[in-house]
Structure 1
């Protein structure tokens, strides 16, 4: 049975004016996929039949032709120990704006590995979501929140100070990066003392999160408000802040093709 070494999925929309397919933070997705693939291939001393550049350029043409959807770039390890690229062309799932989370410790999920790489744990995380009947919120050995099964976390305290979980043994989120880069540029309305700082990377347990406004962010849905964690309601979101950041994401669409050619050369 083939093993998924690396995956990178992203929402695609067809620009209503140009007709060109677009992806939010497209170059960030390309960079993450190339970086993760290089790491996985280096660990195995293997190489596919074509370079990542050649694969992405050809796959981008197919992504553009497919249009609205949720495609996924892939790197596979086959049973004969050969490696190959893959592209899954998938329709766009239903989009939602609210989500509930249920916590589970990493230690209680068997078979996880390469936690900082998107791909190897996808099927296991989906199975855990099914078992929990909700999106899983993974906790480390100290009970601190790390990430959701398909999302990263951003949260805001009562004074408007934002935070995100500490980087490290988790997937590097493109959407989280877009939110974090915009955070210091928020409008001054209702700013905390000293203005809007960068999103602080810090630890937080479930109890602190339920006292905060929590967002689950990913490439498919953008920003979803976390309504409950383990059945406990979170802080009601600040509507103006939420609308502003969603508008920021709406300005982050980048064309998959430029002048008829695929973008994303490294």
Structure 2
């Protein structure tokens, strides 16, 4: 069985989210064979050299999972795009590309899917896409990572505040994925299912792309409840827990 989670936004200031994560990793995740984290695991990530006790505790729980002969995968989100190889090695996981193919089921009922965080599909949010291009550049990241941890923490806090203010002033339609972006990414990757997070609008959407029935599955963010998607054979199900 495969599990998919995203948008946990873990941080020291939200012990309730950390408690949900700890419960999930101890009681629910072990039921799976593979765990995919599709971005925004953390509210912010200032670099793999973050040595805080909070970060170490999260890494340790993932390592316990991977040490039990289970596979662990991460995708970058808009909050934790600096997750790197050191983090992956410590957790026993693997960093995936922005678009990752996945086969669901087998035989006649089998389908081709792709996994994404989803932020790059928000075509109408042009301000964010410009910011995304800047922070994903090697030059910008190298410059940030060259700063001391304390400076990076301050920069991350400032970026979070600015992001919060920007989101409050944007229409909901702007911060959602663009239908044409979804259609193109499915077509370009010869897939009929897209699984993503980012928008915090969990749902199962049916759509048609070039005469093919397709599905867009949006994972939920975590708040009062946690959420995970399961795939077993051809069956796909979204589950909540508290």
Identify the TM-score tier after normalising by the shorter chain. under 0.3
Greater helix proportion: 2
TM-score (norm 1): 0.26
Give the structure with higher Rg (CA): 1
